[in-house]
Amino acid sequence: MKVVFLPDRDEVIRATIDTIKIASVDCMGMGSQIAWIEHPDFLHALEDAVSKRNVTVRVIGVREGDVKHFADQFQDVGANVRYYPHGDVRVALADTKRAVLAFPLPCTGIHVRRRYTGLVIEHEAFCQWLKARFDEIWEKATQPSSGFWTLLKEDFLRNPATVTAGLIGALIGAAATLLAVWLMK
């Protein structure tokens, strides 16, 4: 068994990329916003895993809504994406060889880069157990929606007042535009 402490975000991301690089059959990941896809080395490692080694990639994000564009990027590479409110721990798992667990630290502001610590664990029994837990969550997770109305519904359930105000504003704006066009005739 090998366990390595990862003291910061860069080390966590590097270990996650290295984990993707050793996957030969399965690569699984769970995250909140699943935004690491925008890191060029992460994207390249994922593309190689899917296209060159035929690795099956599954990713679980916490919710769809605002992060759908990250899910779209995963899907463009060939990964399968689902959503489930799994909490705040990030997980990457390659086959049953290696796992990376990342723990976000408290954030001090909205525009502050998220900090992490983490662990790399190379232990087959632990990785098998973690894969079984991932599979359980995967079965409960929902697939990405295919349209505006589903996203609107999810946003409305999270913050009905903001969505309602936005829709009312859009309707008033559309009515004002139609009225202005009609008056110009």
* Per-residue pLDDT tens over the stretch 96-136: 899 999 988 876 666 666 788 999 999 999 999 999 999 99
Q: Which of 100, 126, 87, 78 is nearest to 29 (CA)?
A: 100
Write down the pTM of the prediction: 0.74
Mention every residue, 6+ apart, whose C-beta is less than 8 A from residue 170. Answer: none
pLDDT band at 66 (very low <50, low <70, confident <90, very high): low
Higher pLDDT, 17 or 62: 17
Q: What is the pLDDT of residue 115?
A: 81
* Per-residue pLDDT tens over the stretch 19-40: 999 999 999 998 877 888 888 9
| Residue 68: count of CB within 10 angstroms of its CB | 18
Q: What is the pLDDT of residue 104?
A: 85
Helix (H, G, I), strand (E, B) or coil at 145: coil
* Per-residue pLDDT tens over the stretch 162-176: 767 776 767 776 666
Neighbour order of strands in the sheet with 56-61: 2-6, 116-122, 98-104, 90-94, 26-30, 56-61, 80-83
Helix 9-22 to helix 40-51 angle, to the nearest 10 degrees? 10
> Domain extents for the chain?
2-144, 145-185
Whether the per-residue pLDDT at 63 is higher than 70: the answer is yes
pLDDT band at 142 (very low <50, low <70, confident <90, very high): confident
Fold of 2-144: Endonuclease; Chain A (3.30.870)
